Structure 1
């Protein structure tokens, strides 16, 4: 009788172990195939649609859904609120400006992707030196890109900024404006459309590509990839509470796969310069 009882108990223990094992395997498999929603816009949206369908994503065990959002603030809001897992569209300076302005909705940077040069474009002039006194320059009306535009105008020798110029700097921080340039703030997604209306306009490369402009050949001046432009390197970002999410961090490594980089270089004519650096490099 005692042997029978122990035999029955043994069977029960084995069955429980099997059930628990199956549950753990099932849970593990589910975790591996959990869908990550990546929010993006413009050419970045197209890149991540390609990445989502790539063999590299499959080999990494990542299932990616790409969502298009056409407004940067809305995209960051959606990410901070958890409606979007990770976003791919912004420079580090844009990210910093967002965090400074949204204390209750903080983001965390997961890793670097590329530098996409900002350019100065003009239908009237072929060189920066030809821009005349009193010319009207169109710049972005959002804080991060306003500051970036002004830094580029300084690099081009058109203005000088105050020593304490920050990522939230604006035209009031201009120290010297020898050509008495006038500044027209615009929605930075409309840059190509206002080219004919102003003397020059500063346009991000994502927007330029959408307007069939190539920053390396069509701009009259553009950013160079060096230490001075490190804050303009693009990143992947997530909500602060997900900063340590291992699945999300895999997206950074996925972006830098050789096959993915070859596609990006060919598709965008080398205008998205790969940057694989730790986040500490940007600070």
Structure 2
């Protein structure tokens, strides 16, 4: 009797295990993995916090089967590190050139782009001058102190006709790669985020649009010169980024499609008055 009872208990245990395994298997099949319904944490900065909060609450996100939690950061390097170590699933703030520069400096915490989002023109701003031709000899220019945005700012100054860069200039070059500086411009390095605050104390300030928006500046209206949106500025296209090991995560890639949804884009365009130019390109466009 004991043996029979023992066998019955054993078969009950096997039955429970089989049922649980089947249930788990169904979960994998329906959700794309045991964590298929897990919330995706997106880290972002400045006005993009509002963009992603809007996306997270949208019916389009619900229809895509995505649960999104948005986390606000002020330090871009800290955000990239949090993404590399898995505290943040995906981040939304940086340009392709910024991502490349970050990876070059952080060999052990590599990130990868999931897809493109938008391009925001960088602008040259001034409280003292209304146009580039008024910039005097010896003017001081406030420029970002990170390699990607330093290079971007210098290219913008060259486009405006204020300096000429060496042929060896690249996406992470600095002021030592200036070939000609006819107006004897002086450069003052600043933290990116302080751009709007130094306008009153500096002749010219180079400000990316994300930061400009936090200072209630519209690059299309308030800058005295800004980047043109064309092939020459493709390195400045913003991307969604994740830890390199997650670059093929199907759920994360859904965020790219969601961002470009027509209804989402209508809201962004109205909210930011056309200063976030939608760019829906394959990653191969950036990698050429």
| Pairwise TM-score range, normalised by the shorter structure | over 0.9
For residues 169-215 of structure 1, the C-alpha deviation after alignment (integer angstroms, 9 at most, x for no partner) is 00000000010001111111111111011111011111111101110
Match in the other structure for 2:149: 145
Residues 15, 137 of structure 1: CA spacing in aligned structure 2 closer, same or farther, 3 A cutoff?
Answer: closer
1:93 paired residue among 87, 97, 122: 97
Match in the other structure for 1:220: 224
* Alignment partners' CA distance in 1, 2:106 and 2:120: 25
Query: Equivalences for 1:46-195 in 2 at 5 Å?
Result: 46-195=50-199
Match in the other structure for 2:284: 280
SS in 2 for 1:31: coil
RMSD after superposition? 1.7
* Alignment partners' CA distance in 2, 1:225 and 1:54: 29
* Alignment partners' CA distance in 1, 2:193 and 2:38: 33
* Alignment partners' CA distance in 2, 1:163 and 1:259: 43
For residues 118-156 of structure 1, the C-alpha deviation after alignment (integer angstroms, 9 at most, x for no partner) is 000011111111101111111101111101000100110
CA displacement at 1:23 relative to structure 2: 2.4
* Alignment partners' CA distance in 2, 1:93 and 1:198: 26
Residues 1:24 and 2:18 are matched in the alignment: no
Match in the other structure for 2:5: none
1:207 paired residue among 196, 204, 211: 211
* Alignment partners' CA distance in 2, 1:63 and 1:34: 7
| Further displaced range: 15-24 or 128-137 | 15-24
* Alignment partners' CA distance in 2, 1:16 and 1:100: 49
Match in the other structure for 1:5: none
For residues 4-45 of structure 1, the C-alpha deviation after alignment (integer angstroms, 9 at most, x for no partner) is xxxx9xx99998765443222344445331111100010111
* Alignment partners' CA distance in 2, 1:19 and 1:174: 67
TM-score, normalising length: structure 2: 0.91
TM-score, normalising length: structure 1: 0.93
Deviating beyond 6 angstroms after TM superposition, the runs of 4 or more aligned structure 1 residues are 11-17
Match in the other structure for 2:4: none
* Alignment partners' CA distance in 2, 1:125 and 1:15: 77
SS in 1 for 2:114: strand
